Amino acid sequence: MPDFFAPIREATAIRVRDEHKLPIAIVGAGEIADLAHLPAYREHGLKVVGIMDLDRERARAVAARHGIPRVYESTAEIAQDKDVVVVDIAVFPWVQGGIALPMLDAGKHLLCQKPLSYDFDEAVRLVEHAEKRKRLLAVNQQLRYSESVAAARAMVKAGWIGKPFEMSWDFHVYTPWENWPWVAKQPRLDLNQFTIHFIDAVRYVIGDPVYAYGTQAREPGQPEQGETRTISVLEFEGETRAVLKSFHKNRAGDPRAEFRIDGTEGSIRGTIGLMYDYPRGRADTLELNSRVLPTDGWLHYPVTSRWIPTAFIGPMAALLEAVAKGGVPLTNGRDNLETLRIVRALYRSGEEHVVVKLR
Ligand SMILES: NC(=O)c1ccc[n+]([C@@H]2O[C@H](COP(=O)([O-])OP(=O)(O)OC[C@H]3O[C@@H](n4cnc5c(N)ncnc54)[C@H](O)[C@@H]3O)[C@@H](O)[C@H]2O)c1
């Protein structure tokens, strides 16, 4: 049987060249740095020279666990460290800007966490400041690099489903938001923290929408402040459309975390394994039904890695390459503003019950 998928595997493989492995310092030794950033960086032999957290014990424990040589006392110490080229920020969204600006002034390139900010205007200021300082700012929207999503996009780009005209994300899961007390306290939750990934992935596969409308809701009596149920619709030029549904209160034991892309010559469908058993997860699935390739029925694509931690090498690898060679990383801040613009439009749509024109 011909190996149709060899070019897809090649297009999604990430290799970091030794000359791109510039020194990195991390701000924030929280769960995501510990479970995702650092394991992915270690797998690729990246050079993490130090870490800092307001919680010094936590910083020391994470440094010991991942063999990081230095624990900084403050962010100022990182800014002053001439050896540090890239700063990887993984703190709460509302403190990110206050750390990022002085780092840019000190000449550091940044990988910021998503959401870049809860406040769209602040996100714009950060991106403009990076441009003014001629430093690169990338955002950790690493779902684009998750193997199932990256492979699906590569299949679309190869023309295997013709022109894509419909993309859907359907999450009916139980998410224990109480594990992140700061998230549970936010007045806005799902779109800002979760669906933002899938909006970004829609943009990656289909492009930028023209209209957005959405509705956000809670579960009666839920402890979280923000929305835990959302439906979002994005309309593109022509009749192309994306629909994103998130429901985080499935206690029935039948989780669903699916995506699908339909095109004029075929379809792609997949599942996001992480959401079936967070944070352990299981492998994603991906299948292709193409009238372009000489196949009959659904063809299984063997996904070999998980979103967490594997995809977390993607944004950092692209940033390091851009710093070393020139160019801009895929998930650069300017691009990310378009994802944030959609999030902002959807909240406005839900609050005012209107369709929001994006461009
Ligand atoms: N890209 C993704 O898929 C993804 C997944 C989970 C979380 N995140 C994002 O990562 C960030 C961190 O999330 P987490 O789950 O690790 O949270 P966490 O609560 O586990 O960790 C946050 C850490 O930041 C530290 N911190 C807060 N303010 C600080 C400051 N001023 N200086 C230094 N350290 C500071 C805290 O002490 C804490 O250790 C959030 O912005 C979240 O949205 C992204």
Is the CB of 55 inside a 6 Å radius of any atom of ligand 1?
A: yes
> What is the pLDDT at residue 4?
86
What's the pLDDT band for 125 if we cut at 50, 70, 90?
A: very high
Residues 97 and 75: beta-carbon distance below 8 Å: no
Where do the structural domains in the chain lie, given as residue ranges? 13-141, 143-312+340-357
Q: Which CATH number fits domain 143-312+340-357: 3.90.950.10, 1.10.1060.10, 3.30.360.10, 1.10.10.1200?
A: 3.30.360.10
pTM of the model: 0.97
Is the CB of 30 inside a 6 Å radius of any atom of ligand 1?
A: yes
Mean pLDDT of 265-275: 96
Q: Is the pLDDT of residue 356 over 90?
A: yes
Find the 14 Cα to ligand 1 centroid distance in Å.
Answer: 25
Mutate to test the pocket of ligand 1, among 35, 91, 112, 343 (most ligand atoms within 8 A of CB): 91
Mean pLDDT of 98-127: 98
> What is the pLDDT at residue 140?
98
- Domains 13-141 and 143-312+340-357 fall in the same CATH topology: no
Q: Is the pLDDT of residue 354 over 70?
A: yes
Report the phi/psi class of residue 89: left, alpha or beta, with left for phi > 0 and alpha for psi in -120 to 50: beta
Is the CB of 27 inside a 6 Å radius of any atom of ligand 1?
A: yes
Nearest residue (CA) to ligand 1, atom 22:
30
Mutual angle of helices 333-352 and 120-132, in 10-degree steps: 170
Q: Is the pLDDT of residue 280 over 80?
A: no
| Residue 28 to residue 207: CA distance in whole angstroms | 32
> What is the pLDDT at residue 9?
95
Q: Is the pLDDT of residue 279 over 80?
A: no
Element (H, E) at 160: none
> What is the pLDDT at residue 1?
59
Is the CB of 83 inside a 6 Å radius of any atom of ligand 1?
A: no
Q: Which range is least confidently modeled, 12-16, 255-259, 274-278?
A: 274-278
Q: Is the pLDDT of residue 218 over 70?
A: yes
Atom of ligand 1 lying closest to residue 182 CA? 19
Listed in sequence order, the residues at least 6 apart from 39 whose beta carbon sits closer than 8 Å to its beta carbon are 66, 309, 312
Q: Is the pLDDT of residue 2 over 70?
A: no
Q: What is the dihedral of CA 117, 119, 120, 125, to 10 degrees?
A: -70
Is the CB of 315 inside a 6 Å radius of any atom of ligand 1?
A: no
Atom of ligand 1 lying closest to residue 52 CA? 33
Looking at CATH, the fold of the domain delimited by 13-141 is given as Rossmann fold (3.40.50)
